[in-house]
Amino acid sequence: MNKIEKIQTQSNTEEKSFFNPYFESYIEGVYDGGISRNDEMYKKILNLLKKRCDENNIDYNVDINQSTKMVFDTILEKVKEDNSVDISFNNIENFEDEFIKNIDRVKELPVDKRILTIDSIVNMDFTHNPTTSIMDLLREYIASKLETLDIDIAQLFMFNDAENNLESKDKFDPFADSSQKELGEEEKNFYKDELVFFLMLPNFSKMFEVKNKYIKQISKMRNGFLIDEVKMEYPEYIKQLQNLTNHTDKDISYYYHGAPSQDIAKKILDTGLYMQYNDISRTAKKELSVPEILNYSYGHDNVGRHAVVIIAVPNSEYPVVQNYDANITICGTGQGLEQVGFNPKYVIPSQYIVGYIDKDAKQFIANPNYSKDLKDISEKRL
């Protein structure tokens, strides 16, 4: 096993008993824009990596900004190819200016191109949105490099601290191998690549700092684009959602429950919403906006992606009651009705269910059992 294989093996097996928690949290700070060339920790790590290269006659004299641009351009071309979008970053050293220009340029695009283009720059929910984005691919690139770099640097720290203790030195040096003391070209290139990557890390950190700085603005902009895009093809649907979100009844709050499917949403209209816990906030979200309804989707099963149930909750009373029907079963996460799982303890009666939003058919389905006069419902509970 050569030197590189030793590092990779330890990375894959998570052999980190010697790992420095502060170092780990520091390196992970790249995604928050928390790494700077002026940081003492950064300087210490950089000196260790340079020292190893110097001791092994490894030339690392490269243009770091150019290296950063090469990595970024590769990612950019991948995004443009996958999504067929017009995005350009001409001057990577002025990343913030380029970032703002691209975001502002989205406003001038046709309505049906705006969402895809903005998601190609920053995808804010990759779990439910598979669009390839620049910042996601950059994060993946960094994470792949850190898989071996974090182990390697941690061992360098231990080896450096124990360099005057031969026993400790052999224990902590992953390369204390009497059969191979000279570095081959593969190892030299590996160490050079690690050092160059580490030199690029502050540049990448700055990119994430810029993204985080404008993320709220981008989210707000995207929400507006989303409404415009859906409204262009389904104006009545958007009008229905606006009527729901802008309801004028001050004595009632609307809660939105993501159903796994339209079939389950339909059953909820008839039977009510069964729950395992006596807490509506665990299964529904209060007073969503139109973009929040359109974006509603969570979990790996994308609950709420196809249908969302609306529940009217009077401010003067709590609609959750005990369920006495032993024949009802729901799924393990408590998301609606399914013929698996367990008997739910609680139910919100059908009279409180306003209806459901069919997100695929782009329409609101009213519940005929819903009672707009909720004052005496407590006496009619199941």
For residue 176, the model assigns a pLDDT of: 45
Q: Is the pLDDT of residue 8 over 60?
A: no
pTM of the model: 0.78
Among 229, 312, 226, smallest CA distance to 269 is for: 312
Instruction: Please give the Cα distance from 118 to 153 (Å, whole number).
Output: 36
Phi, psi of 101 (to 5 degrees): -60, -45
Q: How high is the pLDDT of residue 165?
A: 46
**Sign of the C-alpha dihedral computed for residues 87, 93, 98 and 100 taken in this order:** positive
| Side-chain-side CA neighbours of residue 42 (13 Å) | 18
Report, as an integer, the average pLDDT of 351-360. 95
For 89, list phi and psi in degrees, rounded to 5. -125, 95
pLDDT band at residue 354 using 50, 70 and 90 as cut-offs: very high
**Phi–psi pair at 214, nearest 5 degrees:** -110, 5
CA distance 98 to 89: 6
The pLDDT, as a whole number, for residue 345 is 86
How far is 347 from 381, CA to CA, in rounded Å?
A: 10
pLDDT in tens, 287-304: 999 999 999 887 666 788
Question: For 59-114, what is each residue's pLDDT tens digit?
Answer: 999 999 999 999 999 999 999 999 999 999 999 899 999 999 999 999 999 999 99
Residue 27: pLDDT band with limits 50, 70, 90: confident
Go through the chain and tell me how many residues it has: 382
> Tell me, what's the pLDDT at 339?
42
Residue 146: pLDDT over 80 = yes
What is the four-CA torsion angle of 31, 153, 17, 204, rounded to 10 degrees?
10
List C-alpha distances in Å: 273 to 169, 259, 348. Answer: 64, 10, 5
> Which of residues 120 and 328 earns the better pLDDT score?
120
Per the prediction, the chain carries an average pLDDT of 83
Instruction: Label residue 182 by pLDDT band (50, 70, 90).
Output: confident
Q: Are 312 and 254 in contact (CB under 8 A)?
A: yes
195: Cβ contacts below 8 Å, ≥ 6 apart? 46, 49, 50, 53, 58, 60
- Band of residue 161 on the pLDDT scale cut at 50, 70, 90: low
Location of structure tokens 């003067």: 316
Tokens of 364: 């609101």
d(CA 178, CA 104): 59
- Mean pLDDT, rounded, for 305-319: 90
Greatest alpha-carbon span in the chain: 86
pLDDT of residue 164: 43
CA 275 to chain centre: 28
Q: Which residues pair with 322 in a beta bridge?
A: 346
In this prediction, residue 323 has a pLDDT band, given cuts at 50, 70 and 90, of confident
